[in-house]
Amino acid sequence: MKRTQIELADGRELIYFDERDDAVRDQPDRRDLPPPPPASQLRYDPLTDEWVAVAVHRQTRTFLPPADQCPLCPSRGDRHSEIPAPDYDVVVFENRFPSLSQRPAEEPAEITPFTPVRPGLGRCEVVCFTDDHNASFARLSPLRVRTVLDALADRTAALSELPGVEQVFPFENRGVEIGVTLHHPHGQIYAYPFLTPRTRSLLAAARRHAERTGGNLYADVLAAERAAGDRVVASNEHWTAYVPAAARWPFEVHVAPHRPVPDIPALDDAERDAFGPLYLDLLRRFDGLFDLPMPYIAAWHQAPVRVDRELGHLHLQLFSVRRAKDKLKYLAGSESGMGVFINDIAPERAAQLLRAG
C-alpha cells in the first residue's frame, strides 16, 4: 500500500491510500475555500456526567447533493471536489464541517458554576472507500476491505498521538434512514477528547468482571457465544460474527477477533486478511434480509488511548434500524427518554434469519 499525504486549499490534510505502488498523487486542490471553522464548544452536563458538543457551523454542511455535485467523487474536468485526483482507491481527509478539531478557538466563558465549557479539541475525518459513487461497502473486494482496514489502523495510530485525544472511533453510516447526508460510500473517524458514555459503561463492566474473575469480559462472552452457537451468524479462523444475547437493535451483530486486541493497529496480517471475506458476507446477508439495501451503522469499538487498554477487546458492532421490509425501529419514549431498549425481534430469530440469507 502506498501512502501519499497532501494539503487541501484551506490547509486541511488529505491522505491517499493506494493499492498500486506507482500511483502518482500530485494534483493540487484548485478550489478557493474559506478557512476551516474553529473548534466547536464542549458543554458538560452535570446531571448525567456527560459532554455535549455544540457545533453550530455544521448547520451549513452539504446535504444530499445530486450525484454530479458529490464532494466525495474524484475531481474531473472543471468539477473540483474534496479529492483533487481524477481517481482513487481509499482516501482519508479532515472533515470540512467537523464536530471536533484542532483549530484554535477562544476559551469559552462559563455558563453556570455547574456547567464547565471548553473548546471541542479533537479531530473528525472522512474515509472514502472507493471512487465509485454508486458502489457500497458490500460490493468492495476483499483487497479493498484490507486497504480500508490498513487506513483505519494508520489513522487510529496517528490520531491517538494528538494532544488530548482519549478515544478513536471509526464508523460508517449507511442509508437515509440512518441520517446520512452524502450517498457516496464513506465512513468517518472521530477522535474524542474524552471517553464516550458507551465506552465508560463497557469499561466499568469489564473492570468489575476482571476484579471478580481475573478474566477479560468480552473475551469470555465471545467464548460463551461461540460455545452456544445459536446466535453465531458466521465465523472463520480469526473472527466470529454473532448476535448478542441482549441485542438492542432488530438486527445487530458483533464481529470480533478471537485474539483479544485493544484496537485495529494491533491486528496482525492474518487477522486483517480474514476480516474482509467474513464482513462482506455479513453485509450481503443484511442486504438480502428484505431484498433491499439495508440501512446500518458499523461502529468500531476500540480500547481508550491512554487508560484501561487491558480491559478493551476490539470489536465491530453492526446494527440496523430496519425491523421489517416496511417498518423501522424508532427510538421513542423508553429508548430516547430512559435509555432502555425494547427489541421487537428475538436475537436467536435474527441470527437464524441472517444465517439463512
Query: From CA 65, how far away is CA 71, in angstroms rounded?
Result: 8
* Distance separating alpha carbons of residues 101 and 215, to the nearest angstrom: 37
Asked if residue 70 belongs to a known ligand binding site, the reply is yes
Strands 123-128 and 167-174, by their bridges, are unpaired
Determine phi and psi for 188, rounding to 5 degrees: -140, 165
* The three grid cell numbers given for residue 324, joined into one nine-digit string: 421489517
| Residue 182: alpha-carbon gap to chain centroid | 15
- Residues 128, 75: Cα–Cα separation, whole Å: 14
Catalytic residue among 186, 238, 254, 301: 186
From 255, 263, 211, select the one nearest 236 (Cα to Cα): 255
Contact present, 234 and 283 (Cβ < 8 Å): no
Please give the full DSSP string across 145-184, using - where no structure is assigned. HHHHHHHHHHHHHHHHTSTT--EEEEEEEESTTTT-S--S
Residue 315 known to bind ligand: no
- What Rg value do the Cα atoms of the chain yield, rounded? 21
Q: Is 184 annotated as belonging to a binding site?
A: yes
- Residue 256 amino acid letter: A
Q: How far apart are CA 42 and CA 40, in angstroms?
A: 7
The angle subtended at Cα 174 by Cα 169 and Cα 179, nearest 5°, is 90
Q: Is 186 a known active-site residue? A: yes
Provide the 10 A C-beta neighbour count for residue 137.
20
Task: Report the binding-site residues for Zn(2+).
Answer: 70, 73, 133, 184
Bind-site residues: 70, 73, 133, 184
Catalytic positions, written as ranges: 186
